[in-house]
Amino acid sequence: MPARAKKPVSVVTGGAGFLGSHLTDRLLAEGHRVIAIDNLITGNPANIGHLAGNADFRFIKHNVSNFIFLPEEKLDYVFHFASPASPIDYLELPIPTLKVGALGTHNTLGLAKDKKAAFILASTSECYGDPLVHPQKEDYWGNVNPIGPRGVYDEAKRFAEAMTMAYHRYHKIDTKIVRIFNTYGPRMRLRDGRVVPAFIGQALAGKPLTVFGDGSQTRSFCYVSDLIDGIFKLSQSKFHEPVNIGNPREMTIKQFAEEIIRIMGAKSSIEYKPLPEDDPKVRQPDISRAKKILGWQPKVEFEEGIKKTIEYFRNASKSAGSN
C-alpha cells in the first residue's frame, strides 16, 4: 500500500471523451493514479470500459461547470479536457460549451490551486479562427468572429486561456496550455460532425462523401497517439505559454476525401455542399515551439493512422449492426 501512495495522482476532466480517455490510458501507463470526471453529454463510458477494476483508476460522473469536491489530500496534475469539441456538439450545446470554458475552467483551476497541482488546459487551434497568418504560430492572436455560431467554442477556449494565464501570474499556479489541432483515431464518435468520422462513415455505408465548399480548404491531421505524447511531454515541462500540438502535414478536404476513397477501396463519389459560416479556410500548425521545448514531433504516417481509424469504425459499425 505505501508504494501505491507514492504514485502521481492526475485528474482528467472529460475523461470518457475521445482525447480524455486516450490521455487517461497514457497516464496510467506512466504510473499515475487517474480520477476521470465526465458528465457524459458527449463522452462515452465505452471509451473507459476496459479500465473497470483497475485499482489506479476511478470514474466520477459530474459536470465540472459545478463545484468540484475531491477528498484526496494530494493531487499532482489537473488536465482540463472537458468540453464539447465538434461543430455538431457545440452548435447543439452552445451554453454548456461556454459554461465549461468559463465556469469549468474556473473550478478546475481552483482545484489545482487548492491541491497545489499542475494544471494543463486543452485549448484549440480554433483560437486562431479563420486565420490570416499561415501556418499558425502561437504568437498569432487570431481572427475570430465572437458572435458567429462557432464563437461559443472559440471564445470559450480563448477565455479559458486568459483565465489560465491569470491564475499562473496572480496565484503562481504551474499551468500549461496545449492548442490542439485536428486529431483523429479510435474512439471518435461516428456521427460527431468532424470530417474524419464523417468521411469514413459515409464510405462504409457506400454513400457520397460530403465536402463543404469546393474542398480547397485545408486541414492538418494528427494521429491521437502522437497528440497524447505531446501533451504528456508538455505536462512534464516548465513552459507556461501556449504550445501548438498537431501534425503540419497539410491537405485539402477534397484530397482527404479522395484518400479515404482510395484507402478504403470505396465506390463513393464526392458531393459538394455550401460552406458553413466562419469555416476556417486554412489550418496548419507551426510546431517549432513544440520541437524546441518538448523535443516533440509527430511520428505516425497518415496512411498508418487512418487505416487503424478505419478498422476501429468498421468494428464499431459491425457491433452496432449486430445489437
Indicate yes or no: pTM above 0.85: yes
Judged against a pLDDT cut of 70, whether residue 323 lies above it is answered with: no
Judged against a pLDDT cut of 90, whether residue 65 lies above it is answered with: yes
CA atoms of 323 and 318, how far apart (whole Å): 9
The CATH number assigned to the domain holding 111 equals 3.40.50.720
Count: domains in the chain: 1
Task: Provide the Cα torsion 196, 197, 203, 204; round to 10°.
Answer: 150
Parent domain of 233: 2-185+222-246+284-299
Does residue 308 form part of some domain?
Answer: no
What lies within 8 Å, CB to CB, of 270 at 6+ separation is 208, 209, 211, 215, 254, 257, 258, 261
Does residue 34 form part of some domain?
Answer: yes
**Whole-number pLDDT of residue 43:** 95
Judged against a pLDDT cut of 70, whether residue 322 lies above it is answered with: no
Rounded to a whole number, what is the distance in angstroms from the first to the last CA of the chain?
42
**Whole-number pLDDT of residue 268:** 87
- Beta carbons of 268 and 206 less than 8 angstroms apart: yes
Does residue 50 form part of some domain?
Answer: yes
The region of weakest confidence among 10-19, 110-119, 182-191 is: 182-191
**Whole-number pLDDT of residue 4:** 47
Taking CA atoms, 179 is separated from 82, 103, 123, 176, in Å, by 14, 19, 5, 10
> Region 86-110: what's the mean pLDDT?
95
Judged against a pLDDT cut of 50, whether residue 223 lies above it is answered with: yes
- Alpha helix segments (H runs only) across 93-223: 94-99, 105-115, 151-171, 195-204
The set of catalytic residues is 153
Tens of pLDDT, residues 128-186: 999 999 999 999 999 999 999 999 999 999 999 999 999 999 999 999 999 999 999 99
Cell of 213: 465548399
